[in-house]
A = this chain, B = another copy of it.
Amino acid sequence: MGTEFLKIIEVDEAKKIIENLFKENYEVKSENISIANSYNRVISKNIDSTIDLPPFDKALKDGYAIKAEDSFGATEENPKILKCIDSVKAGSFSNKTIKNGKCIEISTGSPIPKGSDAVMMVEFSEKLNESNDIAILKSVPPTEDIANKGSDIEKGKLILKKGTILNPVKIGLLSAQGINDLDVFKKPIISIISTGNELLNTNEKMDYGKIYDVNTNLIKGAILSSGGTPIIKGIVKDDYNQLKNRINESLKNSDILICSGGTSAGVGDVLKDFIEESGEILIHGIAFKPGKPTLIGKINGKIIIGLPGNPVSAIIVYNVFIDPYIRLISGLSEKEANKRKKFKLAKRIHSAKGRMEYLLAEIKNNEVYPIFKDSGAITSLSYADAYMKIPKSTEIIDAGEIVEIILL
């Protein structure tokens, strides 16, 4: 029992190694998807407009397309009379050309007929008789109530930048361009294995000495929120051959593998031995509480992560060391900053000097309540909204101080 650590390294050094590991061993991929399925996906290439918007000179009001000069001097008392030569409904258009003295009835959104340079709103015009005489009651300048072709968006202009997350309005913008499919970041496929002789699946009956596996579902949810596609590979006993077979099988169809161990000592020697034999260990032990037993390595260019078995430790290590880099390769790094918030500390924190510590915290009434429970306590998870970092050199943070937290 007890794990032999290669060399415990500092948090910042670990972050650099992990960032490089992700950059060098994961090739960011694109996939082409339908606009109808693009909600919350991330654009992987700049997108230029493919058409002018509006696609033609467009009427902004219901009324009559006229030559503006034919309205000059018109008033309610002294209207000008034009002859209506056609009528256009939305979705249609007129082939006729407007000459002086003529007009064409049009709807909002219709193309402006040739020869016309203004729209007379229906409110300032009056149909006089069956012979299509229209009284114009107001004088309007050229361009009145017309949106010119390309005035909203010109064809060929950049409309959305690489890295944009597609919210409803941005999906609307692409639809207006007639963009039916588009390239987005492919989500990295991440397998999850929980190890430990004491673990039960949630669909199994409780047995003395056993506990239910928390990490599979916990890490699955965390991967979804980081922008990855999780694959559950189940529970494996603390057995070298079983773990080896499950890992080899998992690596076939995934980009990254996240294991977690059933004991406080982490995934332990079995995973470490297997990675050493088949690949390379890059990190074994990080100098912070509660993530010391973290294991980072690679096998045939695939990233392998060994999290502590304790769920509280596992989710903190995941959030500090794994989430930022999954976001990076999923195109979501922009969103990272929004997770950091500053609040007033509600309770004094006392931390061991000379050791970096990460604490779970609850945000209540705009104040931060650190969660001090022993990291084995599952209740921590019911309150936790965020986590916070306590630097190596800090021993005490007083209540009332402003601290930065990172939302879970």
A residues lining the B interface (CB < 8 Å): 1-2, 35-36, 38-40, 51, 53-56, 58, 60-62, 89-93, 107-111, 122, 147, 152-153, 159-160, 166-180, 196-204, 206, 208-222, 224-225, 232, 238, 262-265, 311, 315, 374, 376-379, 381-382, 384, 408
Contact = CB atoms under 8 A, between A and B. Distances in A.
B179 A210 contact: no
The A interface, classified by DSSP as helix, strand, loop or mixed, is loop
A176 B60 contact: no
A331 to B, nearest CB: 18
A160 B122 contact: no
Contacts of A232: 36
A34 to B, nearest CB: 9
B196 A160 contact: no
A358 to B, nearest CB: 14
Contact of A91 (B107, B110, B197): B197
B378 A176 contact: yes
Contact of A55 (B1, B92, B122, B206): B206
Contact of A168 (B38, B122, B408): B408
10 contacts: A1-B122, A53-B379, A61-B264, A89-B238, A90-B262, A91-B199, A93-B208, A109-B262, A171-B220, A172-B381
A36 B217 contact: yes
B218 A171 contact: yes
A42 B204 CA distance: 24
Given A159-B382, A196-B91, A199-B91, A311 B172 contact: yes
